[in-house]
A and B are shown apart, each in its own frame.
Chain A
Amino acid sequence: MDFSTSIAAILSLFIFSFLYRDNPFYKIAEHLLVGVSVGYFLVISIDNVLIPKIADPLFERKDWSVVVPLFGGALILARLIPKWSKWSQIALAVVIGVGAGVAIPATLQAQILTQMKASMFSFVPPENSIGWLYVVERIVILLGLTSVLAYFFFSKEHRGAFGIYTRVGTYFLMIFFGATFGYTVMSRLSLLIGRIQFLLEDWLGLLN
Chain B
Amino acid sequence: MKRQQVYLLILASITIPLFLPLGLKHKVTPEVERFYQTVESLPAGSTVIVSFDFEASTIAETKPLAQAVLRHLFARNVSVVSLSMLAEGTGLGYSFLREVADEFGRKYGEDYIFLGFRPQYQATILGLGEDFAKVFPKDYSGNNLSDISLTQNVRNYEGISLIISVADGDLPQYWVDYAQTRYQKPVLAAVTAAMATTYYPYLSSGQFSGLVGGLKGAAEYEALLGQPGLGSKGMEAQSLGHLMIIALIIIGNLSYLIARKKI
Which residues of A approach B to under 8 Å, CB–CB? 19-20, 37, 40-41, 44-45, 48-49, 52-53, 56-57, 99, 102-103, 106-107, 109-111, 114-115, 117-118, 176, 179-180, 183-197, 200, 206-207
Contacts and interface: CB of A to CB of B under 8 A. Distances in A.
A156 to B, nearest CB: 26
Contacts of A194: 59-61, 63, 215, 230, 234
B14 A191 contact: no
Given A49-B117, A110-B181, A110-B207, A189 B15 contact: no
Contacts of A19: 4, 7
A176 B136 CA distance: 40
A153 B9 CA distance: 45
Given A110-B181, A115-B205, A193 B234 contact: yes
A49 B118 contact: yes
B88 to A, nearest CB: 7
Given A110-B180, A189-B14, A37 B88 contact: yes
B13 to A, nearest CB: 10
Given A41-B87, A52-B136, A56-B137, A190 B205 contact: no
Contacts, number: 144
A186 B181 contact: no
B159 interface: no
A117 B181 CA distance: 14
A20 B176 CA distance: 43
Nearest to A56: B137
Given A48-B87, A194-B59, 13 more contacts: A20-B4, A110-B176, A118-B205, A179-B197, A183-B194, A183-B213, A187-B192, A187-B193, A190-B215, A193-B60, A193-B237, A194-B215, A207-B18
B160 interface: no
28 contacts: A19-B7, A20-B4, A37-B88, A44-B90, A44-B91, A45-B117, A45-B119, A49-B119, A52-B137, A110-B177, A110-B181, A111-B177, A114-B205, A117-B205, A118-B206, A176-B197, A183-B213, A189-B14, A189-B241, A189-B245, A190-B238, A191-B60, A192-B241, A194-B61, A196-B237, A197-B230, A200-B15, A206-B19
Contact of B177 (A106, A183, A184, A206): A106
User: Which 6 pairs across A and B sit closest by C-beta, in order of nearness?
Assistant: A194-B60, A118-B205, A187-B193, A187-B194, A190-B215, A44-B87
Contacts of A186: 193-194, 214-216, 238, 242
B126 A48 contact: no
Contacts of B193: 183-184, 186-187, 190
Interface string B251-263: 0000000000000
B201 interface: yes
B57 interface: yes
B26 interface: no
Contact of A207 (B11, B19, B57): B19
For A49, A107, A111, A189, which residue has the most chain B Cβ atoms within 10 angstroms? A189
